[in-house]
Amino acid sequence: QPGTDHAAIATEVKVIDSLKKQGIDKNDLGREGFLEKCWEWKDEYGSRIINQLKKMGSSADWSRERFTMDKGCSDAVLEVFIKLYEKGLIYKG
């Protein structure tokens, strides 16, 4: 199943650099405003990796492509995290 990761730190660096060029400070946007800019960046540049994989001849089922921050993936991670917490396998140190 092909897909891409959200690469949070790398994405944050790119978005902050882009904002600086526009004279905008990340903190002035607030959390939601900054997240919106991150999603805009992902929408503009996120397909590059998939396109590169296709050009290299990857024979994946592209109809099943996933992104780590898609609702289904995020929900699955949250569900497993809660189950592990309830079993005492995850705890606050």
SS3 4: strand
Q: Where are the domains of the chain?
A: 3-67
Each residue's pLDDT tens digit, 75-85: 999 999 999 99
Each residue's pLDDT tens digit, 43-74: 888 888 889 999 999 999 999 888 888 888 88
List CB contacts of 37: < 8 A, sequence separation 6 or more: 15, 18, 19, 29
